[in-house]
Structure 1
Amino acid sequence: MTYSVAVAGCTGYAGGELLRLLLQHPDVTIGALTGNSSVGDRLGVHQPHLAPLAERIVAPTTAEELAGHDVVFLALPHGTSAAIAEQLGDDVLIVDAGADFRLSSAQEWEKFYGSPHAGTWPYGMPELPGAREALAGSRRVAVPGCYPTATTLALLPAVAAGLIDASQISIVAASGTSGAGKSLKPHLLGAETMGNMSPYGVGGMHRHTPEIVQNLSSATDAEVKVSFTPLLAPMPRGILATCSAPVADGVTTESARLAYAEQYSDEPFVDLLPAGEWPQTAAVAGSNRVTVQVVVDETAGRLIAISAIDNLTKGTAGGAVQSMNIALGLPETAGLSTVGAAP
């Protein structure tokens, strides 16, 4: 069976990455491509790398345009997905790449996003406990944020196996500028970002913080607290996340690696690197692969876990397609690759 797919927000970075992956998917055909300010434009004006779709015309993002498809991907600004989703039928699979339905706590949503909570959908990170079962057959999927994807997968085995004090987690993660979206912002101009790294959302202010806590809490009964500092790096793609926490008594690098190897032994997109090798963003660019390494700093008494992802692929569009595959009963790896592009 071939599934018809529509993409709302087709001219943005997430929408473009979705289309790049869907063009390689054996079980889908691409239907409506919609936007807002770009309505009436050729897609090639905005996504020149998508040659097979270059002559397609961007339609308005309305329920009428999106109706009649088996799958609708929403790559829209936060707070705008719910209005569209409620107009589409229960029989269509809606995969939301925005944040609207990620959080289970209405209080946390309102605190970090400042608007009423739209609800909670099955969460599109298959590697979490029980996630695949929740996604199978679902007609609604909330795609994780890019930082939560990188950091959760770096820390999940450590939290699940009780290797660390989960109430004292510290995360510093650097992201490429595409994570901020495609709209024009002065601080993202090339002249501002080249040769420069800068922090933002410091002191528990970043919106992905409650999502990271929510994810890790699903793997433990212990209290989870996270200090998260994001950095803007002078590169277009990628996230490198360095995560640490006090290590539990008796945990060594060897025992930690065993726990990680067991946790990820059957995961098609998560690779625990050989001892001594470290994640790097260039190695995962354009792929749905996550690379992870773990070590115990015996002097500091802390476990350090590092991960690398492509924020647009596994961090957004790849995770969305992976979740769609599970929801539709397709092979989980369909249309996705662990092969990156280098240099």
Structure 2
Amino acid sequence: MIHRLPEEQQALLELVEGFRRETVAPQADRWEREHAFPRPVFDQLAAMDLTGLPFGEDVGGSQIPFATYLMVVEELARGHLAVGLGLSVHTLATWGIDAHATAPQREQLVPALVAGRALGAYSLSEPGSGSDAAAMTTVARRDGEVYRLDGVKAWVTHGGIADRYLVMARTGEAGARGISAFVVDADQPGLTVAAPEQKMGMWASPTAQLVFEDAPVPVDRLIGDEEGTGFRIAMASLDGGRLGIAACATGLAQAALDAALGYAREREQFGRPIAEFQGVSFLLADMATRTEASRTLWQSAADRRDHGFDVTRTAAMSKLFATDAAMQTTTDAVQVFGGYGYTTDFPVERYMREAKVLQIVEGTNQIQRLVIGRQLTGSRG
């Protein structure tokens, strides 16, 4: 469904588009080569009031529709995936706290995240429990006025650079009902961060393990009024996070399409631009169609979310379709460039490497199919 945006939201998107074009995109290759997280850019996002867009005004947010916030994420990812994904992950962690914290916790913990003074991260997976998140073994044992955390969390985006982590740990029985959610600050005693993972792509976005050794986390950092709600918090947060990944994938696909189209118009073979050859123009047509379909799907899901509907299924669909589409579109972009696309002289090889991780993070696309199938059939199998 297409809506005309209010004037102030349209102005916001135009501001972000200029920021993407003038500040983010020109530096993306350098940040990737240097494996440098662009923290100054996030400070600029904070100064532009972009780190708390979908949150309530009572905690300092802008309270804009989630769909409009995702348009911002897409635009930033079009300039550099690490920036768009970084904002999405920050929002994922912040939303998990904001939506489920007690009133005193919300007042204490959320405003700094919304204002961008603190960078957020989300920690659910472990070395032995990725897709089977309920099998986690990190434990939090009550000891007077603290919980003592022991275990290893894995694949944490912003690991080592975040200021505040939303961490799931086991406080009770085996399975989902024994999991609770905690907010852990980066300077928490007993918390160390392992060396960043050496990844195929997304070099400017550090991913690392968190190691907890008898870490005394205060009782008031248990999110909510009781133990055992952590898995529900984690899954509810992922609905929005998966829409964020879909928006990132769409932005990345758009960047690949932009590059391929520009090159095809300039590159000549047999006396004319290669864009005029049917083989190339059909590739471009498919790339554009997939990208627009991805955008339409996540915008529809986000619109449903803004109107109070459950989006577990449509969020999974959006993440599944948009990330598969981005993988195909970036691969096709390399093909349009031919041999040059396989070199680091052009950004499409980076886009292709970056697209792959989007099919994996926040639930592999096989897990998305499982979620969709269960929603359709009512099955638990």
TM-score by length of 2: 0.30
Largest Rg, 1 or 2: 2
